[in-house]
Structure 1
Amino acid sequence: MDKYLVSIITPTHNSAKFVEKTISGILAQTYSNWELLITDDCSTDDTCAILESFVNLDSRIKLFKLDKNAGAGVARNHSIENAQGRFIAFCDSDDLWYPEKLEKQIQFMLDKDTALTYTNYEEIDEKGQFLRKVYAPDKVYYKQMLKVDYVGFSTAIYDVKLLGKIYMNPQRKRQDWILLLTILKKTDFGHGLLETLVSYRIRENSISSNKILLYQYIWRVYRDSQEFSRLKSGYYLFLYTFSYFKKRFRSKIS
């Protein structure tokens, strides 16, 4: 199974506080045939020094640097352009993978012959303290995904052999959701591996925790990337709100 190269895409921007643990989790993978492509988006802290130490440690880790700050989507696209793997996986610079994440998920993709997979995940705070578990659906379809983003992006992997390379929308926020919507337009559905294999970090003042900003960017997803009318965008924004709180309620009682 290890004969298939997995390209791991990680953008960084002032990520010095967490990125060492993120990369250590990738180095600990039981699946060894991977390359980690990190594109730094003009960090002003010690991020690049930390990254360069890992590049010197392991030849599978490759570092690219943008000339100007352009956002996570552009940074991810630069890494995707340079990716050589059959599979493209995503891991944000503050999230943590369980050691068996790639091994289990790649085998699952090969067994199911599926183009897009994702897993359950747990949310942790900035100190690494457990907050809640988030359970992914067994399958997710395009119209279902319009209602709420069911997929934790650091759990997602897609198969380049089946889909070709799919790139990020240049929108600065929620471009991860747009990418998943684009993939789901090209395939019947995404398939969930219903095990918890990722720790997703909730950071203070992040887009995930700032609900006003979150809804502004959700509106732009519907209006700009999906080209929906105002009426249709409003309809899906209502559905998103309902589905979002339903999802959060389920995660709290589980």
Structure 2
Amino acid sequence: MNHNAPLVSVITACYNSEKHISEAINSVLNQTYQNWEMLLVDDCSSDNTIFVIEKFQKKDARIKLFQLTKNSGAGITRNKAIKEAQGRFIAFLDSDDRWLPQKLERQIDFMLKNEYRLSHTAYEIIENSGKSTNKIINPKAVLNYQDMLYSNKIGCLTAIFDQSKLGKVYLPIIRKRQDYGLWLKILKTGARAYSLPEVLAQYRKTENSISQNKLKLMKWNWKLFREVEHLSILKSMYYLACNVVIKLKS
């Protein structure tokens, strides 16, 4: 391991995550790239999430727990972690997802060699039980702002941005689809999102996934286009229709 390797801050929002949070944390502990800190922010869980995290925290000082005083949603939860982050790179891992062991090593090397500001990777979809669905999501090699309006093509669990180049970029404060809003915000600066075409993460398909509920998806995308991106009604309708068609085909 290179001792000059830049610090990576792993952002994990938690809410009633006791079932899968151990897998998420272990997938970070098992990284071949070891210069990281993991910032877990709990959004007022009513289960044993905090107890599980504290057990890991006692064994490894790189694991840091923060607790919100009122339930605020994933946007505010992730923003708290971004605010506290000390790393050059900001990476995202949701509490029910997993990384493969070489994820950080391969992706940070990819970004450093090419001086990329934002990158993401291919990923696999797994069942709630952790069993493979044999479905792989392979994103387009390069994405710009316009590309992303048609559909959110970046898996949050694979995304990393370089805050030495972009500064601290925060998610818009909407209840859902804030990650989509964050990528749009970064791409609006003229940055591009570059994909590393390797499966380096596993996305857990749960019953509560916003992506599984097409009607909710439409509502939150509309809110994002109108209130955050300030698109006209016609443009918002057009991109919303594109999002729905692409989602139905996937």
What TM-score bracket applies, with the shorter chain setting the length?
Answer: over 0.9
Matched, 1:168 2:171: yes
Specify which of 212, 215, 220 is matched with residue 215 of structure 2. 212
2:33 aligned partner? 31
CA contact (8 A) 2:181 2:228 kept: yes
Post-superposition Cα deviations, 1:195-219, rounded to whole Å, max 9, x if no partner, equal 0000001101321111111111111
Deviation at 1:27, TM superposition (A): 0.2
In 1, Cα distance between equivalents of 2:244 and 2:50: 38
Specify which of 180, 186, 200 is matched with residue 177 of structure 1. 180
Post-superposition Cα deviations, 1:216-249, rounded to whole Å, max 9, x if no partner, equal 1111111111111211100111222233344x1x
Specify which of 45, 54, 57 is matched with residue 55 of structure 1. 57
CA contact (8 A) 2:214 2:244 kept: no
In 2, Cα distance between equivalents of 1:67 and 1:87: 27
1:12 aligned partner? 14
Match runs of 1:223-234 below 5 Å: 223-234=226-237
TM-score, normalising length: structure 1? 0.95
Match runs of 1:93-242 below 5 Å: 93-131=95-133, 132-242=135-245
Q: Secondary structure at the match of 1:89?
A: strand
Could you tell me which amino acid in structure 2 is paired with residue 58 of structure 1? D
In 2, Cα distance between equivalents of 1:21 and 1:73: 22
In 1, Cα distance between equivalents of 2:210 and 2:246: 18
In 2, Cα distance between equivalents of 1:188 and 1:26: 27
In 1, Cα distance between equivalents of 2:225 and 2:82: 24
1:251 aligned partner? none
In 1, Cα distance between equivalents of 2:210 and 2:225: 17
- For structure 2, the 5+ residue unaligned runs are none
Moved segments of 4+, more than 2 Å:
241-246
Q: Secondary structure at the match of 2:188?
A: helix
CA contact (8 A) 2:75 2:174 kept: yes
2:84 aligned partner? 82
In 2, Cα distance between equivalents of 1:28 and 1:144: 34
Post-superposition Cα deviations, 1:25-62, rounded to whole Å, max 9, x if no partner, equal 00000000000001000000000000100110100000
Q: Secondary structure at the match of 2:237?
A: helix
Q: Secondary structure at the match of 1:208?
A: helix
In 2, Cα distance between equivalents of 1:190 and 1:205: 27
Could you tell me which amino acid in structure 1 is paired with residue 122 of structure 2? N
% same residue: 46
Count of aligned positions: 247
Matched, 1:91 2:85: no
Q: Secondary structure at the match of 2:199?
A: strand
In 2, Cα distance between equivalents of 1:224 and 1:201: 29
CA contact (8 A) 1:115 1:187 kept: no
Post-superposition Cα deviations, 1:69-97, rounded to whole Å, max 9, x if no partner, equal 00011111111111000000000000000
